[in-house]
Structure 1
Amino acid sequence: MTSRPLRKLGFLTIGLFERDDPRAGHESTLEIIQLGEQLGFDSAWVRNRHLQYGISSPVAVLAAATQRTSKIELGTAVIPLGWENPLRLAEDLATVDILSGGRLNPGLSVGPPMNFDTVKEALYPDTAEAEDFSYARVERLLGFIRGDQASDFSGKQGVVEEFSERVEPHAPGLIDRMWYGGASLRSAQWAGAHGMNFLTSSVVKAEEADDFAEIQLSHIRAFRAHHPRGDQARVSQGLVVIPTDSATAEQRAKYQAYVEKRTPRTREPQGPARMLFSRDYVGRSAEIADQLLAHAAFREVDEVAFALPFSFDHPDYVQILTDIATHLKPLLAQG
């Protein structure tokens, strides 16, 4: 079976930082995004972590990135909407999209915030039990991004105040660049039916099988089957890919130890939700290319956002991104 030639190459970073020196980690993330543009990557994506030592405000970080780059697309993978007010988030996303010249690709997810019982009094002290964490929260956001009415008042008020009935600024085209990050068959179907793009990562819910590639393939096909654009609907796959072509011996040992530590969780579904993790791909680019081209789900996509490992150092990310761009990309572009 043939693979779709790779059309868009991206990467994803968590943007770790030190508790007592957070600026250095954020600066490193911005430098990595700049490097990605210089290397010819099509997109750079940032994760979202709340009350952790990773990017907690991806929209703010990407706002800074818009001023340091000019071509690379900038995405979030993903913003958990349980932490957000859809109207306010729509304003932020539209603002950053305007600043970027139309390069923003917001990725979203729904559900209660992680560890909700421990944070709900801080996050929603008066409304925790009434908050709706369903897909309806995404639909509200999409409506605001689209330009639907947000207020029943518009026009002048007083001497200088002028109000709009919709979220401002309005970012034309942003609605077509909204992504849903899903790990289940239901989320894939919902994203397709609502005309969104689909982010599928290195974690899926094992509902009908125990083979990662088979499960991910079923999600991609279900998404496209429900999408108005069918087979042309956009899907981006995010696996952990670590080429070692130019790595030092020390780096190769470090990478291998990282992969070996994570491998046991890939052998069977984990926990009551039966979450299944993909294997990490480490080795020379030629070896990784062969493995990816044999991956049933990879063959169905023409966009990827390879995930950088969480805990590596800045020089490691430079080496990995450089090898992906110069060694792995040409092999995958051939399909």
Structure 2
Amino acid sequence: MKKIGFLSFGHWSPSPNSGTRTAGDALLQSIDLAVAAEELGADGAYFRVHHFARQLASPFPLLAAVGARTKKIEIGTAVIDMRYENPLYMAEDAGAADLISQGRLQLGISRGSPEQVVDGWRYFGYEPAEGQSDADMARLNAEIFLKALTGQGFAQPNPRPMFPNPPGMLRLEPFSEGLLERIWWGAASDATAVWAARMGMNLQSSTLKFDESGKPFHIQQAEQIRAYRAAWKEAGHTRTPRISVSRSIFALVNDMDRMYFGTGRPEEDQFGYIEPEKRAVFGRGYTGEPDRLIEELRQDEAIAEADTLLLTVPNQLGVAYNAHVIESILKHVAPGLGWR
């Protein structure tokens, strides 16, 4: 069995060919798609966060709205860029969203990816401390965030407060019990995956990874997952961690599928540079008739290692078509792989 959810970047464009022409369209359709995915039996609705872009950017209003409209589906992010976040304010937002969804929040956080503007976090008022990089700042913010989610009091109470205080130091409210165990780190390297394991976070591994060996993407990703599991065991954590991977998978089951995605072009990994001197490998997509997909996906070592698979969806094609994309995998592909 494998949990299967969708991952939406929430693109929007004023183009006449776009099903999401405004930010409002992208947000409202994201909610509707989560409702539809739950009705289809999918396990998760996840959303990407990008600043300064025509994509989803402020996750917590969306997560709370999805939580209020659904009952069972996991609700998450993949990922929130911690370079942009006030970790204490974020802990309050996360606690509220988790309580609204009754404990279904699965929050993916990370150092983030290259953004639309240069050092965008500076416009949000954040600067790395002297001698630190922006990645160091993101990890420090993550550590502060995790500590806040323990529920331990740390703030000195006012001796003459407006409202009565409980005894002792005060914690952030609202506090949601169990949320700390549902925080994930999006790791692009083996080293950050190991760090995430030591910190007690679940692991999200995307369709992009820094190239550390020249091997095919799915093998490098599987090796990253194994390094994470070894570090988790060495750290002595008592619970079993969650691990997710993301893939673009399209089953061609009707003429519309073939029109959109049946290009016939070979799908393979791509190597390139997302930052100067940082070579990355981008994982291939999977497109084809269900029987062919089953055989190809069976060879993907990283999917086999993970307990959760996130399907990236073309959200600008509208709710109905994206629900069809999800249903096609759940109905025609997942059973053949033993995932359902």
TM normalised by structure 2 equals 0.86
Shift of 1:91: 0.3
Give distance in 1, aligned partners of 2:127 and 2:339.
51
Question: Any idea what SS the aligned residue of 2:262 has?
Answer: helix
Deviations 1:88-137 (A, max 9, x none): 0000000000110000000000268735636355321xx53537524221
Does 1:325 pair with 2:335? no
Distance change >3 Å, CA 16–CA 204, structure 1 → 2: same
Give distance in 2, aligned partners of 1:182 and 1:283.
29
The corresponding residue for 2:4 is 9
Give distance in 2, aligned partners of 1:29 and 1:172.
27
The corresponding residue for 2:101 is 100
Structure 1 counterpart of 2:103, one-letter code: G
Structure 1 residue ranges without an equivalent (≥5): 1-5
* Of 72-81 and 222-231, the range deviating more from structure 2: 222-231
Which one of the candidate residues 261, 268, 280 is aligned to 2:271? 268
Superposition pairs for residues 191-206 of structure 1, below 5 Å?
Answer: 191-206=196-211
Give distance in 2, aligned partners of 1:226 and 1:36.
34
Superposition pairs for residues 187-266 of structure 1, below 5 Å?
Answer: 187-227=192-232, 228-229=236-237, 232-245=240-253, 247-248=254-255, 250-257=256-263, 260=265, 266=269
Give distance in 1, aligned partners of 2:291 and 2:188.
29
Regions of 4+ moved over 6 Å: none
Q: CA RMSD in A?
A: 2.6
Give distance in 1, aligned partners of 2:300 and 2:181.
28
TM normalised by structure 1 equals 0.87
Distance change >3 Å, CA 270–CA 119, structure 1 → 2: closer
Deviations 1:278-302 (A, max 9, x none): 1111112222122111111122122
The corresponding residue for 1:84 is 85
Question: Any idea what SS the aligned residue of 2:54 has?
Answer: coil
Give distance in 1, aligned partners of 2:180 and 2:158.
23
Shift of 1:146: 1.1
Asked whether the equivalents of residues 62 and 96 of structure 1 are also in contact (C-alpha less than 8 Å), the reply is yes
Structure 2 residue ranges without an equivalent (≥5): 15-20
Give distance in 1, aligned partners of 2:65 and 2:282.
32
Pairs aligned (count)? 322
What percent of counterpart residues are identical?
28
Distance change >3 Å, CA 87–CA 316, structure 1 → 2: same
Does 1:128 pair with 2:131? no
Shift of 1:165: 1.1
